[in-house]
Amino acid sequence: METTGQYFYFLSWMGWIIVTFFFPKSAIRTNMSILLLVVIACSTTTVQMFGFTITASFLVLAVTALIMLVNSLRQKYILHYFSICTVALAYVCFIIFEIYDPVWIFLDRTWLLSVIILYLSLLLFKTKRERFVFMLTGVLLGEVLRSIVTDRIFSYSDIGSFEFLAVLALSSAGMATWMMFETLTIHLDSLIQKRVRERQG
């Protein structure tokens, strides 16, 4: 587990506390709280499927992403498909690059990969829902592709390890922080515009 597990557990519990005690009462808050608890609880449970060792947390996240994806993909299917694949390929290519030329990874690989995923998600997706849903889908797809590649080369067949969960947790935390910043700037802008109108009127 080591550092990546600590990242995952710390951010997941912080996320659960914020969602449970600071979000307004709604179905979204309830569902998010339950999802976070289930993901935390299932993080050490593994199952064997198709020759791969898959964590239960990965399966829970995959089912969640599929449900949310069906509700979100209402138009621009091809554009969203390629955008999700871009995130997935970035995830896979980073890990392959790290394996074959690790000397260039001069920062913590979990933080660096999370920043890349976050940047691509902010660049490719516009709405808050799209950013979370498609980022989750892209990282999940990337983890599957990564496991196929590493299984062929190194016979390493784990899917949904703490390394994956830590990257997802850091990317999600970064996305939430960015959205809070956007909301704050919009609120401040509206206050400034209101003051300007009051002075002019």
| Secondary element (H or E) of residue 187 | helix 162-200
8 Å CB contact between 145 and 42: no
Q: Which residues contact 180 (CB under 8 A, 6 or more apart)?
A: none
In the predicted model, what is the mean pLDDT of residues 7-31?
90
User: pLDDT by residue (tens digit) across 56-86?
Assistant: 999 999 999 998 888 777 667 788 889 999 9
Three-class secondary structure of residue 9 per DSSP? helix
The pLDDT value given to residue 173: 93
Q: What angle do the packed helices 109-124 and 77-100 form, to 10 degrees? A: 160
Of 29-33, 78-82, 136-140, which range is least confident?
Answer: 78-82
The pLDDT value given to residue 61: 95
8 Å CB contact between 23 and 31: no
pTM over 0.85: yes
